[in-house]
Structure 1
C-alpha cells in the first residue's frame, strides 16, 4: 500500500474591506491547481478580519474543488476514448 500526500496552501491578502484567498493544490502527479475566492465586508458590519478570511478561503476551496472535479472528469473522458454515436441519419 502506498501513502500519498497532497498539499493545499492557502494564501490570503487583505486590502481595506476586500479579502482575497488563493488555494493551491500540489500533488506528485499533476501540475498545481489553483482555486480563488473573495469576500467584501459590508461597511455597516464591524471590522472582524477573521470572518473575511473564512469566507474568502471557503470560496477558494470550493473553487478548487470544482476545478479538481473538472480535471477528474476530463481524465475519465480521455481514458474512455471516443464514443460511437451510431449511424448518422439524414
Structure 2
C-alpha cells in the first residue's frame, strides 16, 4: 500500500477464516491456482452475490501483488465434469 506521501506501508495480515461473506449462498468446487502446474486441488468458494470494486481498489491490489500486466488471467477453463455445488440456507 502506498500512502499519501508515496511511502510503502504494510496493510496488515488477513485471516481468511475471518472473512464474512455478505451472501449466505455460495458456490464451491475443487480447482487449481491460475499458474502452472494448475493441478493443486484448491477449494474455491465464490459468493453467489455479485459485487463490484472501484478502479482505485483494483490499482491498490495490483500494487500489492506487483501485478503490472494488463491481462493477468488464464483463459476460461472447461469444467472437466467436476461438481460445482451451490450451498446456502434451504427454503421450507
Q: TM-score, normalised by structure 1?
A: 0.22
Task: Point out which structure has higher relative CO (alpha carbons under 8 A, 6+ apart).
Answer: 2
Where is the strand percentage greater, Structure 1 or Structure 2? 1
Between structure 1 and structure 2, the one with the greater Rg is: 1
Structure number having the greater helix percentage: 1
Q: If the length of structure 2 is used for normalisation, what is the TM-score?
A: 0.21
